[in-house]
Amino acid sequence: MLVLAAATLVAAAVAAPLVQLVVRVAAGDPAAVAAVVFRPRTLDLLLATVAITLATAAGALVLGVATAWALTRVRLPARALWRVIACLPLALPSFVAAFGWMSVIPGLSGPGPLVAVLVLSTSPYVTVPTMAALARIDTSVGDVARTLGRPPVRAFLSVTLPQVLPAALAGTLLVALYALSDFGAPALLRVDTLTTGIYAQFTGGFDRSLSAAMGLVLAVLAALCVAAESGARRRAGARAALHASPPAPVTIGRGATAAIVAGLALVGVAAVAVPLAALVARLPFAGRYAATVPELVQAATTTLALGAGAALVTVLAALPVAWLGARHRTRVVAVLETLSSIGHALPGLVVALALVALTLALAPGAYQGAAALVVAYAVLFLPKAIGSSRAAFAAVPTALEDVARTLGDGPAAAWRRVTLVSAAPGILAGGVLVMAAVMKELPATLMLRPIGVDTLATELWAATSAGAYGAAAWPALLLVAVGLVPALAMAHGIRSLGEDSR
């Protein structure tokens, strides 16, 4: 009962920002709210956001599936290296990648460059689940299709692609959610979207219920993406494990192999090498806007402290929900899991808007304090900790707890000494993912950080806003170093996909 009560409190706390957002909009002047929601400007922002999201999702789907096929089905030289390169774009936040390309091409702006940057930054979300699906599908059907005369491309489109499409679509919908909620890249590339419009309304308007109304529109779009992603993930799970072992990669001609390697290299260069090279090239030209070494150290220290604090709070909040999800699959637990994962559907700007109002109403002293910022991080990234911890708890046999209890331990002691210790690596992995995500988060940090406190992300934002690209190079490179943690972890997790196990 205590665990259920704790999980209920966590779910209620996570749902509070969304509830507050709805209440804030409902309490506003209906005419003013309607004027903002239905004005031509909001419609333009909505259409631009949807268009960019659809274009990004389509591009990431094509690139991700093609990359996954090459990495799992073709025998390539240095295949382990290409798997790492395929995951490296996750190390660069989209606003860092956009900044890098702006350094290479001064004046770069517009929807086209924005979509290109987002596709390059997010395609690993499609590549990884598609690789897992390709490694498990039954290849005999495709072999039969080819023996009946179908050319390889047609056999892939008609037989293989339908089998991996649910997994690919689950990743694509995550890409769509990322594109919907992204703020830094659209702002840098001067593309007006709902996120930039909300931020402008918040910082320049007197009635914040109007920015909340726009935030609610964005939250509805994000919720639709999350619902669709959950359905696609369930269908992908239903098709998993159809093939006992990964199929052996095939050897193709030298020319075709060279073309595939060149394509993978081109994507890696565009997504990672060019932005990184641009950052390094800008280092000697920091100029008068550059942060001093003490300021940079202070920003890095603050970033680490906020990341560690948020990771600790998030992991602790995730434990009761994750344990119930792994041990008790009831309707009540399913509802609590869904509520606790609301942050997955709430962009950082929307959570920040709600917490601004909540702190001013309930605890004015907490406004623009570290506590409110950590709460925002916990709401946003709790699903990462829940997913990792739930999988870790599910992997621990309940028989181990039973043995500990027969040896004299009480329920709490058995859970602490056996289950918690056994699940600790997975729980820690979730904390690392949360910490890495927190350290790269921008919009909520901009709106909720204490006055005079800067993180690496806000240092980068301040420098780029002033046009001081050289001054932004060091914070950007440090953020990339932070991003290497989840990128390399993902590359390590897929190291065996597509290997010949026969």
Q: Looking at residues 382-394, what average pLDDT do you find?
A: 84
The residues facing 250 across adjacent strands are 74
pLDDT band at 215 (very low <50, low <70, confident <90, very high): confident
Q: Looking at residues 295-303, what average pLDDT do you find?
A: 87
Q: Please indicate, yes or no, if residue 91 is contained in any of the structural domains.
A: yes
Q: Please indicate, yes or no, if residue 434 is contained in any of the structural domains.
A: yes
Instruction: Determine the structural domain holding residue 257 and report its residue range.
Output: 39-287+477-502
Do 448 and 488 reside in the same domain of the chain?
no
Do 188 and 316 reside in the same domain of the chain?
no
Q: Please indicate, yes or no, if residue 33 is contained in any of the structural domains.
A: no
**Is residue 284 packed enough to be buried (19+ CB in 10 Å), middle (13-18) or exposed (0-12)?**
exposed
pLDDT number for residue 158: 62
The single-letter DSSP state of residue 365 is G
Do 196 and 323 reside in the same domain of the chain?
no
Do 64 and 159 reside in the same domain of the chain?
yes
> Is residue 269 pLDDT above 90, yes or no?
yes
Q: Please indicate, yes or no, if residue 23 is contained in any of the structural domains.
A: no
> What share of the chain in percent tops pLDDT 70?
84
423/406 Cα distance (integer angstroms): 21
Do 282 and 296 reside in the same domain of the chain?
no
Q: Please indicate, yes or no, if residue 444 is contained in any of the structural domains.
A: yes
409/403 Cα distance (integer angstroms): 9
Tokens describing residue 435: 């910490």
pLDDT band at 19 (very low <50, low <70, confident <90, very high): confident
pLDDT number for residue 500: 45
CA distances from 117 to 154, 217, 385 (A): 30, 25, 28
CATH number of the CATH domain containing 51: 1.10.3720.10
pLDDT number for residue 253: 77
36/55 Cα distance (integer angstroms): 26
Q: Please indicate, yes or no, if residue 25 is contained in any of the structural domains.
A: no
Do 196 and 216 reside in the same domain of the chain?
yes
Q: Are 121 and 94 in contact (CB under 8 A)?
A: yes
Do 171 and 226 reside in the same domain of the chain?
yes
Sole residue written with tokens 């690392």: 432
Q: Please indicate, yes or no, if residue 26 is contained in any of the structural domains.
A: no
243 φ, ψ (degrees, to nearest 5): -125, 130
215/219 Cα distance (integer angstroms): 6
pLDDT number for residue 313: 94
Do 250 and 264 reside in the same domain of the chain?
yes
Do 79 and 168 reside in the same domain of the chain?
yes
pLDDT number for residue 245: 53
Helix (H) or strand (E) segment spanning residue 358: helix 348-362
Q: Please indicate, yes or no, if residue 29 is contained in any of the structural domains.
A: no
Greater confidence (400 vs 17) lies with: 17
Greater confidence (217 vs 401) lies with: 217
Sole residue written with tokens 């709430």: 346
Q: Looking at residues 224-247, what average pLDDT do you find?
A: 60
pLDDT band at 273 (very low <50, low <70, confident <90, very high): very high
364/344 Cα distance (integer angstroms): 27
Instruction: Give residue 385's Cα distance to chain centre.
Output: 13
Q: Are 350 and 19 in contact (CB under 8 A)?
A: no
pLDDT number for residue 502: 39
> Is residue 99 pLDDT above 80, yes or no?
yes
Greater confidence (206 vs 177) lies with: 177
Q: Identity (one letter) of the amino acid at 479?
A: L
Handedness of CA 470, 267, 484, 92 (dihedral sign): positive
pLDDT tens per residue across span 436-454: 888 888 888 988 888 888 8
Do 153 and 50 reside in the same domain of the chain?
yes
Among 358-372, 390-404, 424-438, 487-501, the least confident range: 487-501
pLDDT number for residue 264: 92
* pLDDT averaged over every residue in the chain: 81
For the chain, the domain total comes to 2
Greater confidence (228 vs 12) lies with: 12
Do 259 and 327 reside in the same domain of the chain?
no
Helix (H) or strand (E) segment spanning residue 492: helix 469-493
Do 179 and 220 reside in the same domain of the chain?
yes
